[in-house]
């Protein structure tokens, strides 16, 4: 059993800082400290509640998501370890996901940019997206300008 430590939070103002400086002090750098540091470093990173193949509710880390796709009024969530289903709309999930890591490529699909192997703009007017897990998907023509802009910002 992991014993959780009490967390004390203090705030001090420093007009010379341009950003936010967070410092951790503990008796040891253990699992609780690591988890807290990770949450502070990526505050938008989170877990999503999804259903597995058996219909059981599970928590899926945002980092493991490859894509989300609206499929016959259901939301299919493809992850590193399989396929899940969400009881939510694509728009609602998009609001929950970290906008710096996820990109809408069509009206029906969102991909995790960290899981993309390459974008192929060579087909005239279309965009082929190859994922690191071998999956292939296509970006919608109307989203291509926004996708190009986002990729330039990310470089």
Given a contact cutoff of 8 angstroms between Cβ atoms, the answer to whether 147 and 127 are in contact is yes
* CA 26 – CA 28 distance, rounded (Å): 5
Q: What is the mean pLDDT of residues 92-112?
A: 91
pLDDT at 1: 43
* DSSP type of residue 140: -
* CA 17 – CA 2 distance, rounded (Å): 36
Query: Which pLDDT band, with edges at 50, 70 and 90, does 44 fall under?
Result: low
Query: Residue 73's beta-bridge partner residues?
Result: none
Question: If you average pLDDT over every residue of the chain, what do you get?
Answer: 86
Q: And the tokens for 126?
A: 């279309």
Buried b (16+ CB within 10 A) or exposed e, 139-148: bbeebbeebe
For residue 48, give the 3-state DSSP assignment: strand
pLDDT at 90 over 80: yes
**Global model pTM greater than 0.75:** no
Q: How many CB atoms lie within 10 A of CB 131?
A: 17
First-to-last alpha carbon distance for the chain, in angstroms, is 43
H or E, element range at 84: strand 82-86
CA atoms within 13 A on the CB side of 39: 9
């Amino acid at each position: 059993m992991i014993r959780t430590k009490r967390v004390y939070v203090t705030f001090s103002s420093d007009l010379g800082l341009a950003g936010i400086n967070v410092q951790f002090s503990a008796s040891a750098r253990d699992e609780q400290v690591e988890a807290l540091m990770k949450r502070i470093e990526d505050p938008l990173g989170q877990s999503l509640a999804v259903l597995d193949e058996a219909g059981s509710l599970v928590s899926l880390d945002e980092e493991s998501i490859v894509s989300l796709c609206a499929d016959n009024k259901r939301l299919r969530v493809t992850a590193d370890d399989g396929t899940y289903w969400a009881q939510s709309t694509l728009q609602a999930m998009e609001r929950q996901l970290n906008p710096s890591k996820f990109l809408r490529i069509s009206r029906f699909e969102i991909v995790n940019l960290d899981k993309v192997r390459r974008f192929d703009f060579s087909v005239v007017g279309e965009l082929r997206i190859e994922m690191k897990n071998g999956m292939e998907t296509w970006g919608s023509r109307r989203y291509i300008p926004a996708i190009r802009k986002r990729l330039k910002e990310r470089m």
